[in-house]
């Protein structure tokens, strides 16, 4: 992609309305544009990152046998009255009357709707377990939207739902999502810690939040440092292996604000291991048994001939929010250098040729290099403007491709200047550049 | 995918509420489930087809240099007041008040919002042309939703917008979308005819609808039969070649209802070439110059130093509607046989093993075949139930994979029974099956 043809409206300075660095960078480099309070359009650069995150989330859901569906954004109030949450949900629910004066709403979550789908389709324990997920826009009418897409009103979320015949099977499903979340965040190059959490308006008695550490996070967390060393590699998709993994995490105290108990913290965690800090919630999983299936009549025939309500859990990942969370984790706002994880980078590499009005040989070389990269499925962005070198570097540092190729005016031999962002540059052959980038891409 | 693990809730009989065959099949085979009037959930089978259509639409947009963005579903009324359409749009617009009592709406289309993005980002003719598109849910509050997802309220649509410095350049953009639409529909194995059309509430003076013939269509069309023979192969992405293509189509009279003029029809079309029939609109493109850029102030600096309003067009494809349109074109409702085009089929092939309680050797063979198919990126669905042969065939005919592999109880040699739906079966080796399917997939 030539930068002159792209739609990447970069601002000269940080926008003053943005208080946290993800919001700053996203507006600065034209990833998003606010369309009204807490509602954003995703411009090409932001869109590319979000789509890559979405695809990783999808792949990890598919790997545990979850099936993708797509529920609508607009729901009828009737199913919410059945579950009893229509009144409870309060003003965060965007309530709508259609032209026939029917009470509708913009779904903030989908426990009711998916239970309705389940109850009309599945009748026997033989068809269980069922793991269903969708990736869809949600709306929560925040009273004070802020921090860009981190606390906005219309947001993009993956929510999954499990249906099982017993508590034991349901916990197996819960644990499948537990490992799938760890793998998802790892592929995004994030360290996300599962923490015992409050269930809030979703309900139930078992819940984990997945939190990444960040100064600007809104969740206060209390944890035993050693939890960061727990390894999930080698976990298999069976009951025992998944139970063992949960236990390995749960031996270390690790909770969010609402679950915090000072005495317990101080008893269980040696002083030198205590960590009190802030984090960003990027995923949240819940087990709530028959909280929805019972009032809504979601039951199945059991082997012995009786009927019972299915046991359900729900599992959310904030897809749009992850774009911001990754920036919070990876952006050096002092030097204004972003380095996207290769798995979700909008471009793998930026190519910066030095161009004179009378000498475009460096641009020709850039285009030739780009053709080779394309053949290897490496996506590059080329700065084909005639700006000076330092302003080009500044721009590419904001766009955040993790690798850079710099082509000077006199660059004639077959070695090119190649740099991983944050490291020293080196002169190597194009074939080596391709090898390095391909190896990194294969890792995630 | 084993059918016993899938979420494909098939009904025994056609649902009585469905009047047209796409609606019947989609409910019957569990592709969709209605959640409220004119609003549907997409279950795994329907979702898979829609996603494949979406991906083809996306690829063809990218090929003409359009860049993907994503605008939100909820818009502020303010920009619609700027363009003057807020009052005009009438009751089909779903109007919403948020908790702060602000007037919002669920976007039925995005001319205003994209113009707002453009005007705040692009200042110079040097950055033109810009082709931006998004694939997003829209809402039109139909007074009488019907025909399933063919005339529903919440629907999935690709809408693109072009911005150019002059009428001439804008027509070049228009023609790029014209060819890209022809290519898109061809990959869906549909014959879509571009017809001069009315511009309706979008405005402008140049417009084409892309129509596929179908008895159940809502558009009445009047056309010269010879238009079906126009070839678009070999058209290149330059002004002349695209102009020539437009001319080749426009030499034949071909209009929808609103544009019909009896005298003109009878003068221009020889009696034997006249065709009056019905069709389904699957795409619609518009050129409307500065209709939105002028009231909303979307202008750029010109080379000579003056400013001018950009010339815009918009271009829509109904992604969810295409699922139904393909069924209308391909489903034989008398024999209850669906055959999806291989490019969007939910599965490439169905495997039907004959299973006894005491003999599952055919299922073992099915699983072994499936492993080989997977290695070749061929997706199969296996009927692993112990139902009888005819009910298995019935089910697979509804699901609609274009190929079937039948494994009898005594199937021991290395030839398997292979059938393209609608043709005779033959006994061939698995390697040949793979070759046939791969060749077909590569074509689209």
Question: pLDDT (tens digit, 9 = 90+) per residue, A60-117?
Answer: 999 999 999 999 999 999 999 999 999 989 999 999 999 999 999 999 999 999 999 9
Interface A–B counts its CB contacts (< 8 A) at 154
pLDDT tens per residue, range B122-173: 999 999 999 999 999 999 999 999 999 999 999 999 999 999 999 999 999 9
Strand, helix or coil for residue A202: helix
Point out the residue among B68, B72, B92 whose CB comes nearest to the CB of A40.
Answer: B72
Q: Give mean pLDDT, residues B8-31.
A: 95
Q: Does the structure show a pLDDT above 80 at A135?
A: yes
Q: In CATH, what number is assigned to the domain containing residue A436?
A: 3.40.50.800
**Which helix (H) or strand (E) segment is A405 a member of?**
strand A403-407
B87 and B185 belong to one structural domain:
yes
**In-domain check, residue B1:** no
* Average pLDDT across chain B, whole number: 95
User: Measured between alpha carbons, how far is A95 from A89 in angstroms, rounded to an integer?
Assistant: 11
The answer to whether B120 contacts A37, with C-beta atoms less than 8 Å apart, is no
Looking at B330, B357, B387, the residue that finishes a domain is B330
A148 and A297 belong to one structural domain:
yes
**In-domain check, residue B341:** no
pLDDT value for A199: 77
Question: 3-state DSSP: chain A helix, strand, coil percent, rounded to 5?
Answer: 40, 30, 35
Point out the residue among A47, A68, A141 whose CB comes nearest to the CB of B70.
Answer: A47
Q: Give mean pLDDT, residues B50-67.
A: 98
Q: Give mean pLDDT, residues B273-302.
A: 96
pLDDT tens per residue, range A162-214: 999 999 999 999 999 999 999 999 999 999 999 988 877 777 789 999 999 88
Q: Which residues contact B164 (CB under 8 A, 6 or more apart)?
A: B128, B129, B170, B172, B173, B310, B311, B312
The answer to whether B98 contacts A96, with C-beta atoms less than 8 Å apart, is no
B248 and B359 belong to one structural domain:
no
pLDDT value for B405: 97
pLDDT value for A410: 66
| Nearest residue on chain A to B104, alpha-carbon basis | A36
Looking at B302, B330, B358, the residue that finishes a domain is B330
The answer to whether B47 contacts A37, with C-beta atoms less than 8 Å apart, is no
Q: Which residues contact B200 (CB under 8 A, 6 or more apart)?
A: none
Q: Where residue B411 falls among pLDDT bands split at 50, 70, 90?
A: low
Return the closest-CA partner of residue A331 out of A12, A17, A29: A29
The answer to whether B98 contacts A71, with C-beta atoms less than 8 Å apart, is no
Q: Give mean pLDDT, residues B263-292.
A: 95
**In-domain check, residue A105:** yes
B116 and B226 belong to one structural domain:
yes
**In-domain check, residue B337:** no
Number of domains in chain A: 2
Structure tokens at B200: 């309706």
% of chain B with per-residue pLDDT over 70: 99
SS (H, E, C) chain B: CECCCCCCCCCCCCCCCCCCHHHHHHHHCCCEEEEECCEEEECHHHHHHHHHHHHHHHHHHHHCCCEECECCCEEEHHHHHHHCHHHHCHHHCEEEECCCCCEEEECCCCHHHHHHHHHHHCCEHHHCCEEEEEEEEEECCCCCCECHHHECCEEEEEEEEEEECCHHHHHHHHHHHHHHHHHHHHHCCCCEEEEECCCHHHCCCEEEEEEEECCCCCEEEEEEHHHHHCCCCCCCCCHHHHHHHHHHHHCCCEEEHHHCCHHHHHHHCCHHHEEEEEEEEEEEEEEEECCCHHHHCCEEECCCCCEEECEEEEEEEEHHHHHHHHHHHHCECCCCECCCCCCCCCCCEEEEECCCCCCCHHHHHHHHHHHHHHHCCCCEEECCCCCCHHHHHHHHHHHCCCEEEEECCCCCCCEEEEEECCCCEEEEEHHHHHHHHHHHHHHC
Mutation target for B interface from A6, A12, A36: give the one with most B CBs within 10 A: A36
B217-237 in b/e form (b: 16+ CB < 10 A) is bebebbbbeebeebeeeebee
Return the closest-CA partner of residue B284 out of B256, B247, B242: B256
Return the closest-CA partner of residue B270 out of B249, B252, B258: B252
Q: Where residue B372 falls among pLDDT bands split at 50, 70, 90?
A: very high
A359 and A412 belong to one structural domain:
yes
* Average pLDDT across chain A, whole number: 95
A291 and A378 belong to one structural domain:
no
| Nearest residue on chain A to B3, alpha-carbon basis | A127
Lowest mean per-residue pLDDT among A10-24, A399-413, A416-430: A399-413
B305 and B406 belong to one structural domain:
no
Other CB atoms within 10 Å distance of the CB of residue A410: 10
Q: Give mean pLDDT, residues A371-378.
A: 97
pLDDT tens per residue, range B187-207: 999 999 999 888 777 777 899
What secondary structure letter does DSSP report for A23?
Answer: H
**In-domain check, residue B335:** no
| Nearest residue on chain A to B30, alpha-carbon basis | A121
Q: Which residue range(s) make up the domain with B433?
A: 349-443
Give CA separation, A416 vs A365, A405, A411, B209, in Å: 10, 7, 8, 51
**In-domain check, residue A293:** yes
pTM for the structure as a whole: 0.97
Q: Where residue A355 falls among pLDDT bands split at 50, 70, 90?
A: confident
**In-domain check, residue A252:** no
A320 and A393 belong to one structural domain:
no
A88 and A180 belong to one structural domain:
yes
Q: Does the structure show a pLDDT above 80 at B241?
A: yes
Return the closest-CA partner of residue A219 out of A195, A242, A249, A236: A195
% of chain A with per-residue pLDDT over 70: 99
The answer to whether B70 contacts A127, with C-beta atoms less than 8 Å apart, is no
B106 and B214 belong to one structural domain:
yes
| Nearest residue on chain A to B320, alpha-carbon basis | A70
Question: What's the start-to-end Cα distance of chain A, in Å?
Answer: 23
**In-domain check, residue A343:** no
Q: For Cα atoms B131, B184, B316, give the angle at the middle one, nearest 5 degrees.
A: 50
Point out the residue among A6, A43, A113 whose CB comes nearest to the CB of B41.
Answer: A113
Q: In CATH, what number is assigned to the domain containing residue A98?
A: 3.30.930.10
Q: Does the structure show a pLDDT above 80 at B281?
A: yes
CA distance, residue A267 to nearest chain B CA (Å): 45
pLDDT value for B54: 98
pLDDT tens per residue, range B81-113: 999 999 989 999 999 999 999 999 999 999 999
A380 and A321 belong to one structural domain:
no
pLDDT value for B410: 66
B306 and B353 belong to one structural domain:
no
Q: Does the structure show a pLDDT above 80 at A409?
A: no
């Amino acid at each position: 992609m030539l930068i002159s043809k792209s739609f990447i409206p970069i601002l000269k300075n940080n926008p003053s309305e943005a208080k946290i660095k993800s919001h700053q960078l996203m507006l600065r480099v034209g990833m998003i544009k606010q369309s009204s309070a807490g509602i954003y359009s995703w411009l090409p650069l932001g869109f590319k990152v979000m789509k890559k995150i979405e695809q990783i989330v999808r792949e990890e859901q598919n790997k545990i046998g979850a099936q993708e569906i797509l529920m609508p954004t607009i729901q009828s109030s009737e199913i919410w009255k059945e579950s009893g949450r229509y009144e409870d949900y309060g003003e965060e629910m965007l309530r709508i009357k259609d032209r026939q004066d029917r009470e509708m709403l913009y779904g903030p979550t989908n426990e009711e709707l998916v239970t309705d789908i389940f109850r009309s389709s599945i009748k026997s324990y033989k068809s269980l377990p069922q793991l269903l997920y969708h990736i869809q826009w949600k709306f929560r009418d925040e009273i004070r939207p802020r921090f860009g897409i981190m606390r906005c009103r219309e947001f993009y979320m993956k929510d999954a739902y499990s249906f099982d015949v017993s508590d034991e099977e349901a916990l197996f499903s819960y644990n499948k999502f537990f490992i799938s979340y760890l793998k998802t965040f790892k592929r995004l190059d994030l360290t996300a810690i599962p923490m015992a959490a409050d269930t809030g308006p979703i309900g139930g008695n078992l819940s984990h939040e997945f939190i990444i550490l960040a100064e600007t996070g809104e969740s206060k967390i209390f944890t035993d440092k050693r939890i960061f060393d727990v390894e999930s590699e080698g976990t298999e998709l069976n009951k025992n292996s998944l139970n063992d993994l949960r236990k390995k995490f749960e031996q270390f105290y690790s909770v969010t604000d609402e679950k915090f108990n000072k005495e317990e913290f101080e008893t269980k965690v040696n002083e030198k291991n205590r960590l009190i800090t802030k984090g960003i919630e990027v995923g949240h999983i819940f087990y709530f048994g028959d909280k929805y299936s019972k009032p809504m009549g979601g039951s199945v025939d059991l082997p012995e001939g009786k009927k019972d309500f299915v046991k359900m859990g729900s599992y959310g990942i904030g897809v749009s929010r992850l774009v911001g969370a990754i920036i919070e984790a990876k952006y050096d706002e002092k030097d204004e250098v972003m380095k996207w994880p290769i798995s979700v980078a909008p471009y793998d590499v930026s190519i910066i040729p030095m161009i004179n009005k009378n000498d475009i040989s460096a641009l020709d070389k850039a285009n030739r290099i780009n053709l080779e990269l394309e053949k290897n499925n490496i996506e590059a962005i080329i700065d084909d403007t005639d700006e000076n070198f330092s302003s080009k570097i500044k721009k590419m540092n904001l766009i955040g491709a993790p690798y850079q190729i710099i082509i000077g005016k006199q660059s004639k031999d077959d070695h090119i200047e190649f740099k991983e962002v944050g490291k020293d540059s080196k002169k190597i052959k194009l074939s080596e550049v391709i090898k390095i980038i391909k190896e990194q891409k294969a890792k995630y």
